[in-house]
Amino acid sequence: MKPLHHCNHQATKRRFTFATSRWSLLVRPLLLCPLLICTAACVPKAERDVVVYSALDEQFATPIFAAYERSVDYETGIVGKFDVESTKTVGLVNQILAEQNSPVCDVFWNNEIMHTVRLQKLGLLKPRTWAVAPGWPSDMIASDGSWCGFAARARVLLINTDMIPSKDDYPASVADLIDPKWKHNCAMARPLFGTTATHFAVLRVRDGHDETLQFLKQIHDNAVVLSGNKQVALAVAAGEVAWGLTDTDDAIIEKDQLRKVAIVFPDQQPDQPGTLRIPNTLAILKDAPHPVAAETLADYLVSAQTEDRLAMGDSSQLPISRDSEYRPRVMPSEPVRWMKVDFEAAAEGWTEWAEEVMAVFPD
């Protein structure tokens, strides 16, 4: 297999290759995977390379790939290089678009979902049957099987418990962002990127276009708008605002550092929509150069064992599989009602919707 064009490869046995935008992974797999009951006959010799473009943070994904390597038994070494350039998910998506006539990527691991659906709608992903546990939620698999959602983050409220000492006073809904009693004392990330953009695209489908746009205008006037979810979590922990809307991975970092904070999973009442969870997504490119190896790796990555590893990690991600054996420390003791979502509908008209949102949040 030819090396990725901008990688400076050095042959080193049992190492990974990360390159391309945020980083990519060149893995030479995968014989004798016990989890998948695979033998040497599963993957032809020419198919022992697979290229993964991954937007998941390097520190979280690396142990997963290392575990995958340990699960195989083969003689060929793995060449490795990390790319130090940091880019957003959109950079990987744009690279896939640029390479669509001559693909390099086999498997795309995205840490959110809207841009994965964008690739689906462009016909660049391979429909398939995913080897997932029974009871996998229907909104976590594409209608055509071209992507699978797993290991989610939830959209939660992070509370500064010094500023709001009584649980009875905690906000309990995303709608509290427009409550005048919290004016300039609650925070949200600018809803143009990442999970916050996804959140309001989902609400647009659920609640209506005009209603959601009006909601955003009210948030703009009432809440402190920051550059990202991490900045929201930091502002709450520092007491700059009493509470904010963020993601579980950013919230749990502040809690793990023993900040005076509490995590609330919002909208749990019967007349409320439930908490939104936004999964990682996995997809195989329609014209993947190494489709057989890509299939085997993809099924490994959506396994309960992979989800448990992500749940145990610093980001405390939320398993989708009913076979998962590890309860993430970010989860509350009581059951959580999850919002039912149509991510494919939420991705419709994305560009036009983004322009309208930008008009509300110009800077």
Tens of pLDDT, residue by residue over 174-209, are: 999 999 999 999 999 999 988 999 999 999 999 999
- φ, ψ of residue 224 to 5 degrees: the values are -85, 125
Q: State the sign of the Cα–Cα–Cα–Cα dihedral 329, 18, 49, 281.
A: positive
pTM of the model: 0.85
254-309 tens-digit pLDDT:
999 999 999 999 999 999 999 999 999 999 999 998 898 888 889 989 999 999 99
Domains 24-152+279-312 and 153-276+337-360 share a fold: yes
Q: Which fold has domain 24-152+279-312?
A: D-Maltodextrin-Binding Protein; domain 2 (3.40.190)
pLDDT (0 to 100) of residue 67: 76
Q: Which residue type occupies 303?
A: S
Q: Where are the domains of the chain?
A: 24-152+279-312, 153-276+337-360
Can you tell me the distance from the alpha carbon of 272 to that of 15, in angstroms, rounded to the nearest whole number? 48
20 phi-psi bin (left φ>0, alpha ψ -120 to 50, beta other): left
The C-alpha atoms of residue 111 and residue 193 are separated, in whole angstroms, by 13
Q: Class of the 153-276+337-360 domain? A: alpha beta
243 in Cβ contact with 157 (< 8 Å)? yes
Distance set, CA 222 to CA 251, 264, 357 (Å): 22, 20, 16
